Amino acid sequence: MSKLPFFIVLFLLQIGYSPAQKISLEDDISDGYLDEFSKPEAAFILSGVNDPDSLEFYISWYHDLVDHINTLSLDYSNPVQSAHTVFMYLHTTWLQTYALESTTLTDIVKNKEYNCVAATILFNLISEDLNWDVEAFETPTHVYTIFNNFGRDLMVENTSSMGFDIMRNLKNYSNYLASFYPQKDVLKIGLDKLYYYENSNGRIISNTELLGLLAYNRAYLAKKTNNFQAAYDYVLLAQQFNRDSRSNVNFEIGLYYVWGRELFRESQFIRAFDVFADGFYRYPDNEDFRNNTVSALFNSLMHTWQVKDWAESSRLLAESEKLDIFADKDIKNLESYLMNWDRYFAAIADNTSRQQARKYLQGLAGK
């Protein structure tokens, strides 16, 4: 089933445009690929850089950094050693202070602060520009670099200067990981098993998918300030980059709940339907999302009937059909609802709309 098109409504985010093509970032990534924007451009735009002059400044900073790295004593016949040199250079210059919420590349440029997402994005983008084959590995709580070295993959932990090829120093790295876990969890999992536990539910992602984690982190920060609309819009954008994020499932579910509930409380039933329906599309086994979607739908349909907005009623019915959310009692209520429209269209002699309503009725009869 394809994603419902009406969910993609990023009206609050001032996402950048490519000066030459006049295309927005969300339009460029809509097929899951970046064609007009480079990955560094996308990364800085997702970091909150929207003014063309500011974007030019940050892209210039990035290119200057890559140019300087190319002046280091890199042995390109030994990519692992060269990558380690770059890794250590970054940790002695720009990656100086770990900060959980310093998730953007601008945090690195302005404050030399970073978290796992920002540091991994920077290292991977630079590695790509140096023609090294790198990907990322996303777990429910973390992200690493995978450095592909002629069939031997090296795991790189970008939040620690000892993180290059962590399997060589797994004991020390396990002690480092333990600092991020409650002591009772460390004892339960086992210190020697922390790394494997961390990676047990992860997956390899491309560097384009990696950029989606930046948008997810922006959504997290927006939600912390109760800016639910911005958080929701960032999530929709993040999903275009990374459609199966392992580290944001609980966050997504929580956001769908809180934002949908807030809209419902404010009697914004149509918008609540859009949010809950999106949640049910993403998590079809979530019975609460199904129930909330149905409730928001019927409240929305009541409103569209009162104002005689058949176009919006038709849209809501079409979208709900794709979700297959109705119990038998819901179908009976919809039949009654559509019969009201049928009688109304007969009274005003609107045969076209009447045929549309009857088509929905026929569809319900087959359920």
| pLDDT value of residue 22 | 58
- Tell me the CA end-to-end span of the chain in Å, nearest whole number: 18
| Cα–Cα dist 282/306, whole Å | 31
**Mean pLDDT, rounded, for 188-207:** 81
- One-letter amino acid for residue 194 of the chain: L
Please state which of the ranges 18-27, 167-176, 301-310 shows the lowest mean pLDDT: 18-27
- One-letter amino acid for residue 75 of the chain: D
User: Is the pLDDT assigned to residue 96 strictly greater than 60?
Assistant: yes
Q: What is the pLDDT of residues 233-253, one digit of tens each?
A: 999 999 999 988 878 899 999
Please, which residues bridge with residue 164 across strands? 156
Which domains does the chain carry? 12-208 (3.10.620), 248-365 (1.25.40)
Please, which residues bridge with residue 98 across strands? 114
Percent of the chain residues topping a pLDDT of 90: 72
User: Is the pLDDT assigned to residue 256 strictly greater than 90?
Assistant: yes
Percent of the chain residues topping a pLDDT of 70: 93
Tokens for 110?
A: 């302005």
Question: In the 8-state DSSP scheme, what is residue 24?
Answer: B
Among positive and negative, which fits the CA dihedral 176, 181, 182, 184? negative
Tokens 């390109």, located at residue: 76
Q: What is the pLDDT of residues 24-53, one digit of tens each?
A: 999 999 999 999 999 999 999 999 998 888
User: Is the pLDDT assigned to residue 332 strictly greater than 60?
Assistant: yes
Query: Given phi > 0 = left and psi -120 to 50 = alpha, else beta, which region is 308?
Result: left
User: Is the pLDDT assigned to residue 16 strictly greater than 70?
Assistant: no
